[in-house]
Amino acid sequence: MPITRRHFLQSVAATATVATYQPIAFAEARPAIAGIAYKGEHVRQQIDGFGFSEAFNQSGLLRVLSEKDQNDLLNLMFSPAGGMGYSILRNQIGDVDKARANSGDVPTFEPKKGEFQWAGDENAVWLMNEAKKRGCTRFLSSCWSPPAWMKTNGAVHDSALKKECYQDFAEYLATYVLEYKARFGLDIYAVSPANEPNFTPTLNYGSCKWTGSELSKFVRENLVPTFAAKNVSAKIVVDEHEHWSDEYINVVLDDAANAKSLEIVAAHAYAPNSGDFVSISARTGRFQKALSLGKRVWETEVSVGTGPQITNMNDGVYWARVIHAHMVENDVSAWLYWWGAAFNNTRSGLIWIDSANKKYQLSKRFFTIGQFARFIRPGFHRVDATPNPAPNTYFSAYLSPDAKRLVCVAINDDAVERSFTIQPGGFPATSCIAVRTSTTETHAKLPPVTLQNGSAEVVTAPLSVTTYVFNA
């Protein structure tokens, strides 16, 4: 069977908390007002998208469903017209010599030096093309391990890349991007050469140990020059640390050449301790060096991998608050869960595929993340907004590239309704729609919001995530 994301060593019960916010000046005196400023210095990070992965051949599970269910679920996952509009799909670059039967292994395309084979990744290729049809065109491909022949122990599990194979690995990644375009018509948006370089899994799946200095040297001396020489347009992403840490990122960016050539840095948001609702502060924090250098920060993987699937709204609100903290406090540009649809009925996936009965089960977090993903499209910018306009309420705002749409997301993490007024700061709104996910609603379109002098008085339901879309 395919592997689960990870086995946590211990389980702790923790209340979901978030670091104290500093309200922006124009809103301090009006706690019942969600004020927004969207021009000049109030424009913050560009949003690259929201997404998930189907690594370890999870994409193949979608193909066991009936044609109707398959199409319905694909639309729900990727289409912004009625679906959740997830806009980034993260893929695994195959690593094993030969895929093992009944496993999630994906074979490498270079099992021996200079010998290439392109069979074995059909399910991921199929899913990327299906996602592309529905508007998802940003594909991030991460490498868990170089091929075994490049490794110090001759295996994809554990160990490191041989020093003499640094250039081989750079060419391997470049070939992957070029061939997926030539053979499958797929443009790989970004490549990560090292998935969790600090982590060695206890289960037998691909991993490769790197130090920050080794990764820095490889990127500077091999990967960047090779991509340039071969006209590979894919962006290079480093370093997908297991935890929300910029330890390796800072080492890589200390090199002036890397600081100039890299656009995106990334990390995963697993907490050192596990549990259903680990403190949000354990998953978040600002990557000061990267942000000061103008880099885009991506959160590319997070989940809770143990225990049966949670489908309730407490879980949905928790993950919405994690996104809020990353966006508002940490200036994150992209946010990805671990698996989208997955084989096991656990919290490591947004959707459970019951392959035996050819059915699927959705979770509330699939929809609460979708409250961001569907409406905040790639190219939007976060803009300043009152982060806590009411008790236990979390609020953020995003502006479209043409400045004709202002999207606001309000999270009510309370057992009672919360009311406040959204003041869009002079945005010339002519209409406003609202969509809500709550305990009793799933992405429900609410009655049109009445505007008074451009502002909207709103009431958020208990335990809910509501998206307000102001149109100019």
Backbone angles phi, psi at 142, to 5 degrees: -110, 145
The tokens describing 114, both together, are: 């200079």
Verify that 406 and 373 share a domain, yes or no: no
Q: Is residue 364 part of a domain?
A: yes
Domain that holds residue 452: 385-471
pTM for the model:
0.93
DSSP for 191-237? EES-SSTT---SSSS------HHHHHHHIIIIIHHHHHHTT--PEEE
Verify that 344 and 399 share a domain, yes or no: no
Verify that 305 and 395 share a domain, yes or no: no
Q: Is residue 19 part of a domain?
A: no
Spell out the residues 6+ positions from residue 152 whose beta carbon is closer than 8 angstroms to its own: 159, 160, 161, 162
**Domain total in the chain:** 2
Verify that 403 and 333 share a domain, yes or no: no
pLDDT of residue 101: 62
Verify that 337 and 401 share a domain, yes or no: no
Verify that 363 and 421 share a domain, yes or no: no
Q: Is residue 59 part of a domain?
A: yes
Verify that 369 and 445 share a domain, yes or no: no
CA 57/CA 102 separation, integer angstroms: 10
Verify that 396 and 349 share a domain, yes or no: no
CATH assignment of the domain containing 154: 3.20.20.80
Q: Is residue 38 part of a domain?
A: no
Which amino acid is it at 16?
A
Q: Is residue 336 part of a domain?
A: yes
For residue 315, CA distances in Å to 251, 306, 332 come to 35, 14, 21
Domain boundary (331, 355, 378) is at 378
Domain boundary (378, 400, 424) is at 378
Whether the CB-CB separation of 321 and 369 falls below 8 Å is answered with no
Verify that 314 and 439 share a domain, yes or no: no
Verify that 413 and 297 share a domain, yes or no: no
pLDDT of residue 7: 33
The tokens describing 134, both together, are: 């529905």
Q: Is residue 40 part of a domain?
A: no
CATH assignment of the domain containing 457: 2.60.40.1180
Backbone angles phi, psi at 269, to 5 degrees: -115, 35
Q: Is residue 221 part of a domain?
A: yes
Domain boundary (355, 378, 401) is at 378
Verify that 371 and 421 share a domain, yes or no: no
CA 200/CA 307 separation, integer angstroms: 22
pLDDT averaged per 10 residues, the chain (length 472): 32 25 37 91 98 96 96 98 97 89 85 96 97 98 97 94 98 98 98 96 89 98 98 98 97 98 98 88 98 98 88 97 98 98 92 95 98 98 98 98 98 98 97 98 97 97 98 98
Q: Is residue 8 part of a domain?
A: no
Verify that 395 and 268 share a domain, yes or no: no
